[in-house]
Structure 1
Amino acid sequence: MSSSSRRPAAAVRHLLAPLLVAGLLAAAVTLLHRSLRHYSWADLGGDLLALGPGVALAALGATAVSYLAMTGYDALALRYVGHPLPYRRYGLASFVATAFGNNLGASAVVGAALRARVYSSWQVPGSAITRIIGFNVVTLALGAAVLAGGGMLHDPAGVGVALHLPRAVVLAVGSLLLASVVGYLVWAVAGRAVGWRSWRVERPSPGLAVAQVVLSTFEWLTMAAALHVLLPAEDRLPFLAFAVAFSIATLAGLVSGVPGGLGVFESALVVLLGPTTSPAGLAVALVAYRICYFVLPLLLAAVLLVVHEARPVVEASRSVRLPSVLTPSVLALGVAGTGVFMVVVGDLPGTRALDVSAVTISLAGLSALLTARGLHRRLKGAWAATLALLVGVTVVAAAHGDLALAAVTAVLALLLVPARPAFYRGALFARPRNPAWPITAAVLVGAAVWWQEFSGFGGAVDAPLLAASFSGDTPGADRLVMAAGAVGILIGGRRTLAAAVPAPRVADDDEVARVADVVARWGRCTSHLAFTGDKRFHFSPHGTAFLMYQVQGRSWVVMGDPVGNPADFRELVRSFLGEVDRHGGRPVFYNVLPDHADLYRECGLSLAKLGEEAVVPLEGFTLSGRAKVNLRNCRNKSQRLGMTVEFVAPGDVAPLLPALREVSDAWLTQRNGREKRFSLGAFEEEYVSRFPLVVVRQEDRVIAFATLWIGADGREVQVDLMRRLPDGPRTVMTFLFLECILWAKENGATSLNLGMAPLSGLSTDATASSWDRVGHLLWSRGEQFYNFKGLRAFKQGFGPRWRTRYVAAPGGLALPSAMVDVATLVGGGIRGVVRG
């Protein structure tokens, strides 16, 4: 299979992955609801208290031993990489990474990021951190393989029913799991290092490998014990049999990709345990287990992480203000965790001085999840909305008798108040541009709450939002109202989290005059794009440099490099990034040269190649010689066809405008397109009249023209706006370019810029980025959309030097979104992008 055919398949897999996770979660919730439908969730609080302190302490003890055993993973890993550390250091890294990874899903990724964060602060080399992370993943897998593989071989029929797999497949997987453990031990005894290209893995010592298997198996057993002691004594399976079922269910949750395996782990365990455990006892045990093994360690890990992050500040200054310690991300995590709890658990029992339905509490939890994302982005609006929500939930939970939830939300609200300065992005309670959206959101949510609490028609559904949605017993009217409430919260959340985009405006005469002065003194050819009338300007404090930009979506797109005095560029770029950050935007420097690449990288931006521009060196340029025979023939043929060229000064352009307009309109009509903007000049009379003009005539009729940019020092000339009659001679544009080259050389210029060949020269080797690979695919297969290869071949005929152009933007998934915004901006809107 070719590499090009594999790429679409990878894209499809990437698209289907989140859909698969959502489907697994939905199926798991449905199965759980069917299995536990006879359990009254209103009794959950009382049943949890009925477990008693002895059982709770036993579960917490098993949890503590399990997390302690996991710190042994790091002890073995540090021995493996030969970088010993005191236990107080690697113990912190292990516990924080494990607690966060267990709760947030993608535990390998989350755990790796947090381990890297903590270990790097202890000056552990990056290569050693990578090996530690890989070693820990292998250690975790070994114990799971021992228990799950043994269980599959012991009871293939029961496991097959739980996982919906044939008995033969279960036997094969179980055998493969145990064989992999044996193979690992054999490799540690007699194997050699393995690797591919520059990637290499050294085998552990035999003693280290055996320790991995024993420690991991013990850790999995203690994890199972934390749940086993919570089950009703009369319903418990023998511990070893339960541990096997537990490990298989946990693996199912890990493979599903659902955060914490929530729902998938529980549903697999329900099927594996079968009729041996009562639904009520299992429901109570699972909730208690989530609290003991997931929620409480996560809260402790969050505190330890805050203390660790604050230590350098404490050492630098003994008086640490609360906001400097409680980072927005930590606060967001606390609010999100509370939101998940409310969404999943819903109504809790109590004195019910103020009775509120489980659906309403779940809707409040969904709101908390949305505002938590805004807290992470440091939005003022999210801070205000979260504070109001937490105060409201605190009052309702306290009146409802749920003192635990009231205490958590009250503490979070109190921590948010002094952290207010950390949330500086966007306007607080800004007036919405379209009031219909917030009104719609308020009506939908208000209707849902009224229906559940006060109408007397719906009769509050006695189940959390997710359970009620998948329940076959929920009336259709209630389903519709719940969906409306969720949609209202999503609409309101989107408006709360929307970037505060500055209102559109046009530069005033004073700004244009300042820009003209800077361009006249320091401008390059592309600096003349400042006069297209579609840009905002950001000036340096001294006014001797500026950035020209426009806002599209979340992207603040700067056209080209800074213009002006180079001494001001660093301060100019940093002040612009600060303005973008205050508005929650995304900075994009479009079509930049490598001259300032270090500055962009220093500011946290990544560079991606856009293409190459053709620059013809004029020193020594001549039409003589074999290499220029095609150009000579084209010039001679054009002259025989009666074509003449004229260079017109800016002051003499006005009389030609009607004829130029006729050529431009015919060119646009033939292309069935519209004027491009932002990165190109457009045919507007004021703009065209600012620059020298080259005009090609045939029998006194204008058949083609182009505007010319000239740099401040006169050394570089660039062709900008080009138009020709569709029925004109085919050689007219080559003739126009050639005459421009000769004119520029005659007038003392050293180079003539023919413009860019998009996506030209992108890397395709093993080091190529995803952007390069996609761009090269468009270059090689996208001729039906744009003449990529033909344009480069045309410009290559003039013998240019190719100069790389880049886009500097945040890396990762932000780049494709940023490029969509750029394309929309250049095309003058979505219609312009589609129509070309």
Structure 2
Amino acid sequence: MTKIKHILSRLIVPTTTIILVIQLIFMTREITWRMIISTINDVAWWQAVLLIVFGFLAVLVTTFNDTILAKWQNYRIGKVELYQRAWLINVFNINAGFAGTVSVLLRRILFFDQSKPNQLKPYFQMYVLSLTGLLLTSVCAFLALFLKIIPTFDDIMVWLATILIITSIIVTISLIPKLHLWLGMKRAIAKKFIGISCLALLLQMGLFVITGITIGVSSIQVSMMMFLFVIASTIAFVSMTPGSWGSFDVAMLLLLSNVDVSQDRAVVWLILYRVFYNILPLFSALGLFFYRLSRKLNVDYRGVPHYVAGMVTHRIITVTLYLLGFLLVLSGTMPDVAQKVMGLNRLWILPSVYAIANQLPNIILGFLLLISARGVANQVIRAYKSTILVLVLVVIYTLISYQYIAPVIFVAVLLIAFILSKKTLYRQQFIHSWEQQVVDGVIWGTLIISYLLLGVIHAPFVQHRFHNLNHTGIMPSLHWWIMGVAVILMVSVFSVLLLRYLHAHQQQLGFIFDEERLNNMLAVGDTHYTNLAFLGDKRLYYYQVNNQDVLAVQFRIINNKAMVMGDPFGDANYYAEGMQQFVEDADILGYMPVFYEVSERIAMLAHEFGYDFFKLGEEAHVVLDQFSTSGKKMQNIRSVMHQATRGGFEFNVLQPPFSQDIMMQLRTISDEWLAGREEKGYSLGFYDDQYIQRYPIAVLEKNSHIEAYATLVTSHTEQQMAVDLMRFTKKSPNGVMDVLFVNTIAYAKAQGLMTLNLGMSPLANVGQHRQSFGRERLANLVYQFGSKVYSFEGLHHYKSKFTKKWVPMYIAYSRKSWILMVMIGLLKIDNKGVKRAPEIKVVYDKDNNF
């Protein structure tokens, strides 16, 4: 028997709820969404704001119960944390409370860290006292019916009598001395709970009344609305449905039908009431709940959830800003879509003025939103204030020009979401990359072309040809183009101002050439590319540990790309953390590093930072201990060497500083070799007197006159010598460079080095496999069939005469960059970059000698 009672008690509430929901559906089956939306659209924006404020205020008052509870029970909890928990408890209880059961349960859960003996008793006491507001108003309603002040509702006195009886029973039971239910309750605390109960019910009642007045219900008086609210609340309490949903609404529909309020109007009334009292606060509570949950998960999972959520939110906001800007511009350029600005209809006498006033705000705000969206997409800090300003202007303009509340709410929600996502903006400056310029160019081009097409369509001859509009003379077209010029001018002015604001505060990455600092870094570690730093066409980034330089990279800026030349140099133990810091510092300033001609180790490190990479080619490394001119394969080399000896050619390695005569010969050979072509740079040494004076030069002389030469660069860290700048005269015999290389190999070996680097062979052994990346397969086709432009195969074949050891070199670039734009950047910086190399810093010893 007990089990049956237990089951029945569990079935009462859900059964009642189902019956009430079915009854609600039956009563509203003839109500359409079009009727509801039409009524809601009649609500002015200021009325919606008033309802929102009243709705949240009615809920906010109930949270004071928990502040009193915390002070009464001596909770040790911060104010912000207390308010958050109180909001969750009361909002969820309003929407899902079973006669106070949910409120007690939620307080038990959310105040678990403040638990004390007999903790449930204060919760019960607070709940009973929270009913006093409804009890007092029910007594007033009962007296009004009993005294025939409101004679129409005699049949519902039973509900009022029921709540009075239930309340009397609860109070009587609670006063039994043996139960001690009011033990510990102070009179002052009880008065506060009662006061809050009455205030909360009055605010809730006020929201209901204001909602009815807002939608234009004038058939009943305010006093009757208040009476009906008390009756429906009483019925909802007695039925004990979750959060009073269903029973309150059904009762209110029945009551309103008795006072000649139409069903569609009554439904809209209840929907608006539920939206502002239940749904909007519930959304805020759910948002707060998920925020608290995400904060806990974020701590448990080391910040990953917040990072992912931030990125997703940022993407959504960026796309929304673009779409909103696009739609605003379209609505401004398309007269059929544009909304008329209130109060400007009287300007019809001046068509051009009216058109400008009607469409100009849309177009200007639309383009400003597109620019702001780009700044937000780039995650630039300076875009924060400017975007807020633009969105606020859009909100104001929407309030003035549109008659519906939905657009205002949409933009306002977007504004709030953007403000809350402030942490996703971290870059210190705005750089418009080529990739972004292409995307934005497509968007802006589409809008501008559509605008121009619209102007052409409005031209008189077009309208006469296709629409036979005889009344369209020259004036409509003239007005249209006058408006177009004015719009373009104003959009240009505002766009330039916003772009200048975003582009302000430009800061360079790294440092300019400082010979002393660079030499100190090279003393720690160098590579066969560090000589290129002395060209002076690059900047240098230094990674420090304990304020000491331990690692450096050389790079040149082009657009938003920091083109790094070669591997980092310095202490190899700091490659990983130094590169990571470089990538992060570059990212903060809006730059994306591109690692060009780097080793496999650096390419793999860059890949860990989310970079793509592919093989550029291979460097020819001559292993000095293994090199020999003996054997059949080297027969041609030996023959050339003998011919050079018989021809009087001599090999020497000249050490700087060089005399004026030597420099004159070197420059003459270089000018002849270039034959008017522009000198290359960045990844290659170029001829410059200051640069040439820094390194030894291997020369082939005949009769004390230089016929060919090559600058030699030594990397002590790599135990390697590299051939940098190579030049020879036109009259020098074939094979002169073979002789120079063989002698240089012997010289390098005599210096105790391990390898001689003959330089890279571009695209060598790239994309030879079917499973290779598509871009590498394409590079292989260029290698095989591009000999008319550059002798890729010929260069690789030539260097193969001296070595079989080929070391792959790579390019690594961010996945956010387009490989086409990376290649264009490399082509654009493939030049000297400076008029001349930095002067040599002369260091004297104590005797004032070099």
Q: TM-score range by the shorter chain?
A: 0.5 to 0.7
Tell me the equivalent position of 2:653: 647
Give me the whole-angstrom Cα distance separating, in 1, the residues matched to 2:687 and 2:753.
26
The answer to whether the 8 Å contact 1:714/1:748 transfers is no
Tell me the equivalent position of 1:407: 409
The answer to whether the 8 Å contact 2:767/2:778 transfers is no
The Cα shift of 1:777 comes to 2.6
After superposition, the Cα gap between the structure-2 partners of 1:808 and 1:610, relative to the gap in structure 1 and judged at 3 Å, is same
Say which of 760, 764, 768 aligns to 1:760: 764
- TM value normalised by structure 1: 0.54
The answer to whether the 8 Å contact 2:615/2:776 transfers is yes
After superposition, the Cα gap between the structure-2 partners of 1:393 and 1:52, relative to the gap in structure 1 and judged at 3 Å, is same
Aligned to 1:541, the other structure's residue is in SS state: strand
The Cα shift of 1:375 comes to 0.9
Tell me the equivalent position of 2:796: 792
Tell me the equivalent position of 2:67: none
Say which of 567, 571, 585 aligns to 1:565: 571
After superposition, the C-alpha distances for 1:489-528 in whole angstroms (9 at most, x for unaligned) are: 77677767769864599735xx422221222332122222
Give me the whole-angstrom Cα distance separating, in 2, the residues matched to 1:798 and 1:611.
17
Amino acid across the alignment from 1:361: N
The answer to whether the 8 Å contact 1:378/1:423 transfers is yes
Amino acid across the alignment from 2:320: G
Give me the whole-angstrom Cα distance separating, in 2, the residues matched to 1:594 and 1:340.
45
Give me the whole-angstrom Cα distance separating, in 1, the residues matched to 2:286 and 2:779.
44
Give me the whole-angstrom Cα distance separating, in 2, the residues matched to 1:305 and 1:334.
20
Tell me the equivalent position of 2:381: 380
Say which of 320, 331, 350 aligns to 2:317: 331
Tell me the equivalent position of 1:507: 512
After superposition, the C-alpha distances for 1:256-313 in whole angstroms (9 at most, x for unaligned) are: xxxxxxxxxxxxxxxxxxxxxxxxxxxxxxxxxxxxxxxxxxxxx9x99999999654
Say which of 298, 305, 319 aligns to 1:316: 298
Amino acid across the alignment from 2:625: E
Give me the whole-angstrom Cα distance separating, in 2, the residues matched to 1:396 and 1:724.
72
Alignment of 1:417-428 (within 5 A): 417-427=419-429
The answer to whether the 8 Å contact 1:754/1:795 transfers is yes
Tell me the equivalent position of 2:342: 352
After superposition, the Cα gap between the structure-2 partners of 1:325 and 1:594, relative to the gap in structure 1 and judged at 3 Å, is closer
After superposition, the C-alpha distances for 1:688-718 in whole angstroms (9 at most, x for unaligned) are: 1211110111222111111111112472111
Amino acid across the alignment from 2:541: H
Give me the whole-angstrom Cα distance separating, in 2, the residues matched to 1:785 and 1:399.
63
Amino acid across the alignment from 2:322: A
The answer to whether the 8 Å contact 2:593/2:813 transfers is yes
Alignment of 1:572-611 (within 5 A): 572-611=578-617
The answer to whether the 8 Å contact 1:703/1:725 transfers is yes
Tell me the equivalent position of 1:439: none
The answer to whether the 8 Å contact 2:685/2:725 transfers is yes
The answer to whether the 8 Å contact 2:524/2:550 transfers is no
After superposition, the C-alpha distances for 1:373-406 in whole angstroms (9 at most, x for unaligned) are: 3212202343333222111122222222444333
The answer to whether the 8 Å contact 1:779/1:789 transfers is yes
Aligned to 1:336, the other structure's residue is in SS state: helix
Tell me the equivalent position of 1:520: 523
Amino acid across the alignment from 2:538: K
Aligned to 1:475, the other structure's residue is in SS state: helix
After superposition, the C-alpha distances for 1:161-186 in whole angstroms (9 at most, x for unaligned) are: xxxxxxxxxxxxxxxxxxxxxxxxxx
Give me the whole-angstrom Cα distance separating, in 1, the residues matched to 2:499 and 2:625.
57
After superposition, the Cα gap between the structure-2 partners of 1:596 and 1:777, relative to the gap in structure 1 and judged at 3 Å, is same
The answer to whether the 8 Å contact 1:501/1:554 transfers is no
The answer to whether the 8 Å contact 1:645/1:694 transfers is yes
Tell me the equivalent position of 2:544: 541
Give me the whole-angstrom Cα distance separating, in 2, the residues matched to 1:469 and 1:503.
46
After superposition, the C-alpha distances for 1:763-793 in whole angstroms (9 at most, x for unaligned) are: 1433232321332232222222222121111
Q: Higher mean Cα deviation, 307-316 or 694-703? A: 307-316
Say which of 623, 627, 631 aligns to 2:633: 627
Amino acid across the alignment from 2:517: R
Amino acid across the alignment from 1:330: I
Please say if 1:614 is aligned against 2:620.
yes
Structure 2 unaligned regions, length at least 5: 1-31, 41-282, 346-356, 433-443, 464-475, 836-850
The Cα shift of 1:805 comes to 0.6
Please say if 1:341 is aligned against 2:327.
yes
Say which of 527, 530, 536 aligns to 2:533: 530
After superposition, the C-alpha distances for 1:807-828 in whole angstroms (9 at most, x for unaligned) are: 1102376222112112211224
The answer to whether the 8 Å contact 1:824/1:830 transfers is no
After superposition, the Cα gap between the structure-2 partners of 1:321 and 1:729, relative to the gap in structure 1 and judged at 3 Å, is closer
The answer to whether the 8 Å contact 1:362/1:464 transfers is no
After superposition, the Cα gap between the structure-2 partners of 1:829 and 1:563, relative to the gap in structure 1 and judged at 3 Å, is closer
After superposition, the Cα gap between the structure-2 partners of 1:504 and 1:648, relative to the gap in structure 1 and judged at 3 Å, is same
After superposition, the C-alpha distances for 1:229-281 in whole angstroms (9 at most, x for unaligned) are: xxxxxxxxxxxxxxxxxxxxxxxxxxxxxxxxxxxxxxxxxxxxxxxxxxxxx
Alignment of 1:718-757 (within 5 A): 718-757=722-761
After superposition, the C-alpha distances for 1:515-562 in whole angstroms (9 at most, x for unaligned) are: 212223321222222221112111111302111111011110111111
Which structure has the greater CA radius of gyration? Answer: 2
Q: Higher mean Cα deviation, 376-385 or 606-615? A: 376-385
Give me the whole-angstrom Cα distance separating, in 2, the residues matched to 1:325 and 1:770.
30
Amino acid across the alignment from 2:298: A
Give me the whole-angstrom Cα distance separating, in 2, the residues matched to 1:829 and 1:518.
23
Amino acid across the alignment from 1:808: A
Aligned to 1:329, the other structure's residue is in SS state: helix
Aligned to 2:582, the other structure's residue is in SS state: helix
After superposition, the Cα gap between the structure-2 partners of 1:620 and 1:310, relative to the gap in structure 1 and judged at 3 Å, is farther
Give me the whole-angstrom Cα distance separating, in 2, the residues matched to 1:499 and 1:794.
51
Give me the whole-angstrom Cα distance separating, in 2, the residues matched to 1:56 and 1:615.
82
